[in-house]
Amino acid sequence: MINYNYGTGEWKNWILEETAFNKNTLGKCESIMCLANGYMGVRSATEESYIKETRNCFVAGTFNKASKYEVTELPNVADVLNMAITINGEDFTLTEGEIRHYSRRMNLKQGELSRDIIWVSPKGDEVAFKFRRVVSMKQLHTIAQSVSMKALNKDLQISLYSSIDGKVTNEGAQHYTIESVRFYEHKLLQLVETTTQSGIDFVVNTTHTFYKDHAPFMPGQVMASGVRSIGCHYTLTLEKGQDLTLEKVSSIHTSRDQEWDKPDYQLDDLKKASMTYLKEEAAKGYRGILNESAHYWEKHIWDRYSIDIQGNADYDSLAVRFAIYHINSMTPRHDNRMNIAAKGLSGPGYKGHYFWDTEIFVLPFFTFSNQDVARSLLEYRYLSLKGAHDKAKANGYEGAQFPWESAWLDDGEVTPEWGGQDPISGEMVKIWSGFIEQHITADIAYATWQYYQVTQDQDFMDRYGYELIFDTAKFWASRLEWNNDAQVYHINDVVGPDEYKEHIDNNAFTNYLAHWNMELAIEYYDTVKANNMDLFKKLNKKLDLEATYQRWKDRLDKVYLPQPNEDNIIPQNDTYLGLKEIDLTKYKAQDNVGSLFKDYTLKQVNQMKVSKQADVMMLFYLLEDRFDQALKQINFDYYEPLTLHDSSLSLAIHAILANDLNHPEMAYTLFRKATEIDMGTNMQTSDHGIHMAAQGGLWQSMISGFGGMRMLGGRLLIHPRLPKHWDRLVYPIYWKGNRLDITVTHQEVKVVNVTMKDPEIAITICGKDYVLKEELTVQIDAE
């Protein structure tokens, strides 16, 4: 029911289409066609309501904790999309009558959602509907809808109820009290609601404009306020052949918006300003709002990040655009107090929380593409250091222990303590990640380092970066546990990236990254002390650096780094290799993520040799120069068959490694599977929202995988391996302020420095070192 080939000409490989209505799989397109602009995300529920819909609107960063039993989450904002349409007395709903034509489309290039339907009511009234919708990328508070109806075979009595509906909840949790609902100037609707715990005011406005046969027109209007809602009933007659267009323009502002989050904030000021804003936006009309937004997409996203694949690559082109669309629309680029949620702003899954998904999966896109946004995302971590300090302290550690899940700056750890019931035993399942999935602290340090290497943003490092590196390394030094028998430091009782193994000792990924983090801190200590004494003094005072440095030095070489065993397998942790194996054929074969839990409890899975996701492979990817190709190959062959890829973080990393190991077909197969995590034809993939890490991973498997682009030890590497059916891949990266356009074919690599900030750039292509001036072309030897 998903068609990837709708677009032609200018729109080729830009449009995702749903070709049939299915009331049972609404979640799919609600998520994958979600409209967002970083400020807010509006899940693509339809104007008319269906039983199984999920009607969500989230504004980034507006967390609220509904009760002591629940963790903080992004509250579902009052719904402005709804319209109940009645045609000659019958409700417009696709579960009744006949659908003569159906096409719902997401135009990724313009960020516009369209729905074209020819519907015949049960009584036989034939109507052509055109629904259009945009969330402006330019004007962050604007949602615009255009709804057209044409009477095809009869005159129609149309009645329509459209409202701001504050009755929506987060799956039953109501986060707001209604401050007021008002109706102004006979056309402006306003609902003001305030979150119950965090006290954030939301001002939601909407207004309606009608056209009949394109001429302005005013139908009968009756304002109707209800419980937690305010709306208007409209009634009109449409003669056969006439068409009606309704434009509904809505705005959302909150007291958490940077311009309002200040001491002299007054709700009344916000109400007034938001109404002025709405009027200005509405005056542009739907088309004006769309054009403004599309122009922004063109200029600031597609021109900047364009990826071009030639060959048999239509689907792949669409998939990478899909990834870039979601990465950009779900990232709160406007505010460094916010980050990228695991499901973006597209659904209730993971409650809008931030994970390592940002630093390891999505952030590299921005690090290599848009320094400002990448910096803002890292600044978020710096601004949330208090929670990290609190967490370390509460656990008896020093320095910054970043929460596994983060929300508002000072919330600290927000991972829920309990998940659902175990379906077999009926007992509550404890979520251990918040307690012992600790590698995120090193992941943040890694991303900070990566950002610095790629951008050379010294200002960032001086203000935030060094401190992040030192503070995280300080945590690790305190986290180490001396093992007297082995005379080394262990890191025990953790969860590594592979979450099917809880309470394990010496997770290879965690130990290596912790070691790396301390090692980097030692290097940067020396650098800062040598080059910037003021900063050194400041940080020394703040972090007790000199004493900590001594500890790093004392302990670094004694950190236990799991080594290959006699079979050259790096043990994922101390016990993994001794676990019992089971036949995974049926779980590997199934499309159904998590199918293992139909047969086993998590406790049992903990005792089985099976992995949820990349773990040792993650280590190979992040610290690629520490392990040789042969070792990587042996371990890939060992671990991949044990890995169910039940996490959306797994496939893309495996695709990259398969490419590194020169298995381009396998790499492509894994890449293709990764594209299907959200965009695939399975209609059950994305009910709770899209998988942001998977989208970030897709970009990486495209650019760092097939495109072969890496930063290694501060140096730019390009070692591409295109899938056979691709002829050419063109992609841009931003390297130390230079835009480099990279063209890869099966024969050669061409790099053009478009901006020429630096006259010369050191670069390694297919293993040989070069100096890039304006342009460089290198032939690829057959491997």
Residue 172: CB minimum distance to its own copies, A:
3
Residue selected from 5, 22, 177, 755 as contacting its own copies according to rule CB under 8 A: 177
Residue 228: CB minimum distance to its own copies, A:
4
- Residue 3 sits in the site that holds its own copies (CB under 8 A): no
Nearer residue to its own copies within complex by CB, 180 or 565: 180
Tokens 């401190």 sit on residue: 467
Nearer residue to its own copies within complex by CB, 232 or 619: 232
Which phi and psi (to 5°) does residue 249 adopt?
-115, 130
Interface with its own copies by CB under 8 A: which range of 216-224, 355-363, 515-523, 768-776? Answer: 216-224
Ordered DSSP codes for 133-155: EEE-SSSTTEEEEEEEEEESSS-
- Residue 169 sits in the site that holds its own copies (CB under 8 A): yes
Interface with its own copies by CB under 8 A: which range of 173-181, 431-439, 655-663, 696-704? Answer: 173-181
Hey, which residues between 8 and 47 contact its own copies (CB under 8 A)? 23-24
Tokens at residue 744, please?
A: 């890869």
Nearer residue to its own copies within complex by CB, 425 or 527: 425
Judge whether 755 and 736 are in contact, CB under 8 Å: no
- Residue 108 sits in the site that holds its own copies (CB under 8 A): no
Q: Is 488 in a helix, a strand, or coil?
A: strand
> Which amino acid, one-letter code, is at 543?
L
Total chain residues near its own copies (CB under 8 A):
49
How many angstroms separate the CA atoms of 751 and 748, rounded? 10
Interface with its own copies by CB under 8 A: which range of 89-97, 101-109, 110-118, 400-408? Answer: 89-97
Judge whether 133 and 113 are in contact, CB under 8 Å: yes
**What is the pattern of x (binds its own copies, CB under 8 A) and - over residues 265-304?**
----------------------------------------
Hey, which residues between 398 and 457 contact its own copies (CB under 8 A)? 420-421, 423-424, 426, 428
Tokens 């602009």 sit on residue: 37
- Residue 580 sits in the site that holds its own copies (CB under 8 A): no
- Residue 755 sits in the site that holds its own copies (CB under 8 A): no
Residue selected from 11, 161, 183, 210 as contacting its own copies according to rule CB under 8 A: 183
Nearer residue to its own copies within complex by CB, 226 or 759: 226
| Long-range contacts, 28-31 (Cβ 8 Å, 24+) | 28/2, 28/683, 28/684, 28/685, 28/686, 28/687, 29/104, 29/106, 30/54, 30/56, 30/346, 30/347, 31/343, 31/346, 31/347, 31/678, 31/686, 31/687, 31/688, 31/689, 31/690
Judge whether 671 and 664 are in contact, CB under 8 Å: no
- Residue 5 sits in the site that holds its own copies (CB under 8 A): no
Q: How many helices (H) and strands (E) does the chain have?
A: 22, 32
How wide is the angle at C-alpha 492 spanned by C-alphas 490 and 496, nearest 5°? 110
**What is the pattern of x (binds its own copies, CB under 8 A) and - over residues 591-620?**
-------x----------------------
Nearer residue to its own copies within complex by CB, 421 or 550: 421
- The reply to whether 499 belongs to the active site is yes
Judge whether 182 and 229 are in contact, CB under 8 Å: no
Residue selected from 50, 161, 211, 600 as contacting its own copies according to rule CB under 8 A: 50
Spot the catalytic one: 398, 499, 502, 640. Answer: 499
Residue 419: CB minimum distance to its own copies, A:
9
Interface with its own copies by CB under 8 A: which range of 87-95, 244-252, 383-391, 731-739? Answer: 87-95
How many angstroms separate the CA atoms of 613 and 507, rounded? 14
How many angstroms separate the CA atoms of 97 and 92, rounded? 9
Residue selected from 3, 88, 159, 196 as contacting its own copies according to rule CB under 8 A: 196
Residue 402: CB minimum distance to its own copies, A:
26
Mark out the alpha helices in 602-663 (DSSP H runs).
Answer: 602-606, 616-622, 629-639, 651-660
Residue selected from 9, 215, 216, 227 as contacting its own copies according to rule CB under 8 A: 227
Residue selected from 130, 138, 154, 182 as contacting its own copies according to rule CB under 8 A: 182
Nearer residue to its own copies within complex by CB, 178 or 631: 178
Residue selected from 181, 275, 409, 703 as contacting its own copies according to rule CB under 8 A: 181
Residue 98's CB is within 10 A of a number of other CB atoms, namely 12
How many angstroms separate the CA atoms of 745 and 721, rounded? 9
List, as residue ranges, the binding site for substrate: 356-357, 612-613
DSSP-assigned letter for residue 201:
E
Interface with its own copies by CB under 8 A: which range of 177-185, 238-246, 258-266, 524-532? Answer: 177-185
Residue 490's CB is within 10 A of a number of other CB atoms, namely 16
Residue 491: CB minimum distance to its own copies, A:
33
Reference 692, options 171, 332, 293, 307; nearest CA is 332
How many angstroms separate the CA atoms of 294 and 290, rounded? 6
Residues that bind its own copies (CB under 8 A): 23-24, 49-51, 66-70, 91, 93, 95-96, 166-169, 171-174, 177-184, 186, 196, 222-230, 348, 420-421, 423-424, 426, 428, 598
The residues annotated with a catalytic role in the active site are 499
